[in-house]
Amino acid sequence: MADPVPSAGPHHGRVASFDQARGLGEVRADDGTAFGFHATAIADGSRTIAVGTEVRFTVAPGHRGRYEARSLAPTGDAGSASHQRPA
């Protein structure tokens, strides 16, 4: 059985991981669903975000057929930059 299609959002969650060198990360929605994202999906254009940052985001089908987080915007806690992988 295929995974259910998530609503477009907005969703809320936290950045679970982010590899700045590769520009790839994962955000975990409040309901526990994980979505990958690329640094270009960070809404403020900074291309970096701390692990643990609370974010609001939308979800859309990615180019590989998986749903991805888009338009990540911090909403509160800045998280801890010490959890980021080194560049």
pTM assigned to the model: 0.78
Strand 24-29 with 34-38, pairing? antiparallel
Confidence of residue 86 (pLDDT cuts 50, 70, 90): very low
Higher-confidence residue of 35 and 63: namely 35
Is the Cβ–Cβ distance between 18 and 85 less than 8 Å? yes
Confidence of residue 78 (pLDDT cuts 50, 70, 90): low
Average pLDDT of span 51-78: 90
Domain map (residue ranges) of the chain:
11-83
Among 22, 6, 2, 8, smallest CA distance to 71 is for 8
Output the pLDDT for position 4.
Answer: 59
Which CATH number is correct for 11-83, 3.40.50.1240, 2.40.50.140, 2.30.30.240, 3.40.250.10? 2.40.50.140
Output the pLDDT for position 28.
Answer: 97
Establish how many alpha carbons lie within 13 A of residue 86's alpha carbon, considering only the half-sphere containing its beta carbon: 0
- The one-letter code for the residue type at 22 is R
